Amino acid sequence: MDLDGPWRPGGWKEPLRKITVVEVKEVNPPPGIREPLHWRLLTSLPCQTLVQAQRVIGRYTARWWIEEYHKALKTGAGVENSQLERGYRLEPLIAVLAVVAVRLFSTKLLARSRPESFEAAESFGPEIINLLEHKFGKPKGGWTNQKLLASVAGVGGFIGRKSDGMPGWQTIWRGWQRLMWMCEGLEILNGA
C-alpha cells in the first residue's frame, strides 16, 4: 500500500511507498485485563516473514522507553529551557545530560521492575549514598532500587505518601541536582 507523503514546512514530501500493516493482538491477556492489547502498526520496513514482523513489533514496544528517556531530558533536565541557541553549544550540554538521564532512567526502570533489588545503589557511588543516609537515615533492608529512587526524588521535594505513586521527572532531577551540589560542597570543604 502507498500513502500520501507528510506535510512539512516547505511543502508536501514524497509519497510513502510499500507500507505494510502489522496487526498485533493479545491472545491470552493476564487476568483482570478488560481490554487485550490490539495494535495496528504501519511500517516501511520489510515484513515478509515472522522474524521481520517481530522486529517491527519489537521496535514499537521500545517506543515507551524512548519517550520516557526524552521526558527525562526535556521535563526533568529542562534541556529545552537552557537558552542555548547554537547547535555547537547545545550538543555538549545534551551529551552530559544524556549520561545523567540514562542513569536516572535506568534507576526508575529498576525501581519499577525490581523494586526490592539493589543494582541502582552500586551505580550511584558511596558519596551520594552517604548524603542520603545523613538526610533520611539508613533504610531498613538497605538501599533497594525503589528506596533509592524515592530518596533522590525526596531531596527534590517528593513526599512519598502511599497514594503518591512513583516520583516524576521534575522531582527526580531536582533531587539529583541538589545531591550534586551537596557533593561539590563536600569536596570544597574537604579541600579536594
Residue 17 C-alpha cell reads as: 511507498
Find where cell 545523613 sits: 134
The reply to whether 2 falls in a domain is no
Same-domain status, 140 and 48: no
Q: Answer whether residue 183 is part of any domain.
A: yes
| 168 and 100 together in one domain | yes
**How much is the mean pLDDT over the chain?**
90
Closest CA to 43 of 27, 28, 63, 26: 63
Q: Are residues 108 and 176 in the same domain?
A: yes
Residue recorded with cell 511543502 = 11
Same domain, 107 and 70: yes
Let me know if residue 120 belongs to a domain: yes
Residue 9 has pLDDT above 80, yes or no: yes
Residues 3-14 as b or e (16 or more Cβ within 10 Å = b):
eeeeeeeeeeee
Which one of 61, 81, 106 terminates a domain?
A: 61
Statement to judge: residues 155 and 101 lie in one domain: yes
Rounded-to-integer distance, Cα 109 and Cα 172, Å: 13
Residues 83 and 160 in one domain: yes
**Least trusted range by pLDDT, from 12-16, 39-43, 140-144, 152-156:** 12-16
Pick the last residue of a domain from 46, 61, 76: 61
User: pLDDT for 57-84, tens place per residue?
Assistant: 999 999 988 998 988 888 888 777 777 7
Mean pLDDT of 22-41: 92
pLDDT the model gives residue 134? 93
Domain count, the chain: 2
Tell me if residue 26 falls in helix, strand or coil: coil
Are 30 and 110 found together in one domain? no
What is the Cα–Cα distance from 58 to 39, expressed in whole angstroms? 12
Closest CA to 129 of 113, 147, 117: 147
- Residue 25 falls inside a structural domain: yes
Do both 123 and 164 map to the same domain? yes
pTM of the model: 0.73
85 in the same domain as 144: yes
Is residue 17 in a domain?
yes
User: How many CB atoms within 10 Å of residue 104?
Assistant: 23
pLDDT band at 115 (very low <50, low <70, confident <90, very high): very high
Expressed in percent and rounded to 5, the helix, strand and coil fractions of the chain are 55, 10, 35
CATH of the domain at 149: 1.10.740.10
Shared domain check, 80 and 162:
yes
Domain that holds residue 36: 7-61
The closest of 38, 4, 3 to 19, measured between CA atoms, is 3
Does residue 117 fall inside a structural domain? yes
CA distance 138 to 182: 18
